[in-house]
Amino acid sequence: MDCKEAIYSQDTADYFIQRFGRLEMIQERYGFDCILPLNNEYTVAFAKLGLHSGDMEFPSAYTAAPRCYGMMEEPGSTFATEGSSAPTLEAMGVSRLRRMPYLDLLGSGVLIGFVDSGIDYTHPAFRNADGSSRIYAIWDQTEQNGTPPEGFAYGAEYSRTQLTQALMAQDPYSVVPERDIEGHGTYAAGLAAGNIVRDTGFSGVAPLAEILMVKLKPAKQYLRELYLIPEDAVCYQETDLAWGVEYLVRTAQRIGRPLVICMTLGTNSGGHDGAGILDRMLDGYASRYNICVVTATGNEAGYSLHYHSEQVAGEYEQVELKVGEREPGFTMELWASLLSQYSVAVISPTGELISRIPSRRNNSQIIRFLFENTRLYVDYFSAGNRTGNQLVLMRLRQPTEGIWRFLIYRDTVVDNGFDIWLPLRQFVQEDTYFLRPDPDITITDPGNTEAPITVASYRVADKSIYLHSGRGFTRTNRYKPDVAAPGVDIYGPMAGGGYRFANGGAAAAALTAGGCALVLEWAVGGDRQPQIRSQEIKRLLQGGAERTGIEVPSREWGYGRVDFYGAFEELRTVANI
């Protein structure tokens, strides 16, 4: 099986493998069908299902399996017959910047890259006045018959020339067949870098920045089954996101442009500590010169999907979970800090007790209930997850409706507490939730990563934090989020034409990414600070943020409401200009 076939095959599993020798040696030693280098640290390997995955269950090394990511936009967006970007741009200090003619910052010379659902390249928000495309390129991972980008094994790349040719054609999609079915990428790209379209009242933050879009292919079916993700939920796998980020960085380096990476997808899988593979990639790139990485906090705080324990009082702590009537199944991840160790017992809604399951490294058990049609999978992982932290992975198939009780036993003298996360809201039924939840530590990955700029969401109308905006800090008490941006009732372009209002972390991250492009234009394009990194931009945003009524650092707000005019005032103070 060649690599392209393995990438698309539903009978093939994907794995992250840390590089430790020649690719040929790794492939021969483990019997992979194909192995491709991702970067200097990781490769992506492919093998037939069952060879490494243990009868369609998780591989022995949890960190080798790609995580599944969802979109950071709340459901229920509304079509807009009229609207305006003015309140949002004013709240962010962008309008005030535009009133400073000596700055003249609109994002010129900067790339803003997205790894998302694609983009409606025919939308007026992405076309120049002469009808040509403002999009530098699109990598469509779903297209199996096109020409992949140089250095990549799959998908089809469409250049600006091809996109412009398509726009001039009677049927654009006969030339470039890429479409954004979900509309998420179109919306995010428009908020960050859409045109000023005066007759609609719309403007992106950086309307002269160039757009680089990766359209992700859907996650493979075996991953959906492993993570018990509903059939109607949109999800993408971590390997494709990692390739997408690589494409953005390599393209920017090849053409010599500063780059903003806008990450508007997220996951509740992982330790919420920035130690995941994609997290580490983004952290590394955010530390490079002239690359700025912006991530969302997600929209999980108000949905009761996180449980936190400071310390187990007594022999065990009882965690109560309400499971909804039509819940087909879900995963739960219990994470404990270094040196802490826990084991689990379970009581079903009918009162059936599954006795304490011993906590042994890489111990995996399948439990079938006597009076119910539920199967429970429990996997214990420890030092193999790079951090040394304990992970207890629990998956319930066909869980009985009602109250489930998980008894969490302390196995070691050291007790630093634990956290449990259910999947993203769109991956679990609305009536499945913890009865004693904690809204803190609900930032989705990769938002818990140190170097990138992590953005919370707030409502412009009353300057209140958005109810569902992910809250910090990280599980390891790193201060996140960094700042907050508008994320409620945000006016932006809709795939298929027109505009809509939507809520959520994707909007806040995209708007902030556009603002970061303005900073890069000033610093790099103006040759004022040609070696600037995410950390420096983050400090400017934090220093220039509007903090009225906010004690910083805040779990909800970070260091305040982002104000790009204030950031430039901060820059003037720091640079003495």
Specify whether 88 is located in the same domain as 160.
Answer: yes
The secondary structure element, H or E, covering residue 281 is helix 277-286
Longest Cα separation, the chain: 75
Query: What's the whole-model pTM score?
Result: 0.96
Torsion sign across C-alpha atoms 137, 139, 143, 148: positive
Residue 66 lies in a domain: no
| Neighbour count for residue 376 (Cβ, 10 Å) | 21
* Beta bridge pairs of residue 295: 263, 454
Q: Kindly calculate the radius of gyration of the chain based on its CA atoms and give it in whole angstroms.
A: 23
| pLDDT for residue 56 is more than 50 | no
- Which has the closest alpha carbon to 568: 175, 183, 208, 92? 92
Question: CB under 8 Å to 144, separation ≥6 — which residues?
Answer: 4, 8, 154, 155
Q: Which of 60-74, 204-218, 375-389, 461-475 has the lowest mean pLDDT?
A: 375-389
Burial code (b: 16+ CB inside 10 Å, e: under 16) for 50-79 equals eebbeeeebbebbbbbbbbbbbbbbeebee
Give the Cα-Cα-Cα angle 405, 411, 415 (nearest 5 degrees): 90
Specify whether 452 is located in the same domain as 416.
Answer: no
Q: Which domain holds residue 481?
A: 78-301+445-575
Specify whether 294 is located in the same domain as 323.
Answer: no
d(C-alpha 371, C-alpha 352), whole Å: 8
Percent of the chain topping pLDDT 90: 83
Specify whether 291 is located in the same domain as 361.
Answer: no
Give the Cα-Cα-Cα angle 6, 10, 13 (nearest 5 degrees): 60
Residue 440 lies in a domain: no
Q: Which of 175-179, 224-228, 293-297 has the lowest mean pLDDT?
A: 224-228
Q: Are residues 268 and 443 in contact, defined by beta-carbon separation less than 8 angstroms?
A: no
Residue 272 lies in a domain: yes
Residue 407 lies in a domain: yes
The tokens describing 564, both together, are: 């790009």
Specify whether 211 is located in the same domain as 154.
Answer: yes
The predicted pLDDT at position 362 comes to 66
What is the total count of domains within the chain?
A: 3
| Phi-psi category of residue 54: left, alpha or beta, with phi > 0 → left and psi -120 to 50 → alpha | left
Specify whether 269 is located in the same domain as 412.
Answer: no
Burial code (b: 16+ CB inside 10 Å, e: under 16) for 489-526 equals bbbbbbbeeebbbbbbbbbbbbbbbbbbbbbbbbbbbe
| pLDDT for residue 161 is more than 50 | yes
Give the Cα-Cα-Cα angle 81, 498, 108 (nearest 5 degrees): 120
Specify whether 199 is located in the same domain as 321.
Answer: no
At 324-344, the pLDDT tens digits run 999 999 999 999 987 889 999
Q: Which pairing describes strands 12-18 and 42-48: parallel, antiparallel, or unpaired? A: antiparallel
The predicted pLDDT at position 576 comes to 45
Residue 560 lies in a domain: yes
The predicted pLDDT at position 577 comes to 40
Residue 69 lies in a domain: no
At 265-276, the pLDDT tens digits run 999 999 999 999
* 354 three-class SS: strand
CATH of the domain at 542: 3.40.50.200
At 410-467, the pLDDT tens digits run 998 888 899 999 999 999 999 999 999 999 999 999 999 999 999 999 999 999 999 9
Residue 197 lies in a domain: yes
Q: Burial, 175: exposed, middle or buried (Cβ in 10 Å; 0-12, 13-18, 19+)? A: middle
Residue 57 lies in a domain: no
| pLDDT for residue 92 is more than 90 | yes
Specify whether 359 is located in the same domain as 451.
Answer: no
DSSP states along 32-73: -SEEEE-SSSEEEEEEETTTSSTTTS--SSGGGSPPEEEE-S
Distances in whole angstroms, Cα of residue 444 to Cα of each of 11, 173, 481: 29, 35, 11
DSSP states along 299-325: S-GGGT-EEEES---SSEEEEEEEE-T
32 pLDDT band (50/70/90 cuts)? confident
Specify whether 515 is located in the same domain as 456.
Answer: yes
Specify whether 315 is located in the same domain as 216.
Answer: no
DSSP states along 373-411: S-EEEEEEE-GGGSS--EEEEEEEESPPSEEEEEEEEE-
Q: Higher confidence at residue 389 or residue 256?
A: 256
What is the mean predicted confidence (pLDDT) over 518-543?
94
Specify whether 380 is located in the same domain as 427.
Answer: yes
**Mean per-residue pLDDT of the chain:** 93
Domain boundary residue among 434, 469, 484? 434
d(C-alpha 513, C-alpha 152), whole Å: 26
* 283 three-class SS: helix
The secondary structure element, H or E, covering residue 252 is helix 238-255
Distances in whole angstroms, Cα of residue 471 to Cα of each of 6, 443, 456, 556: 39, 5, 8, 5
Specify whether 295 is located in the same domain as 319.
Answer: no
The tokens describing 282, both together, are: 């983004």
CATH of the domain at 414: 2.60.120.1290
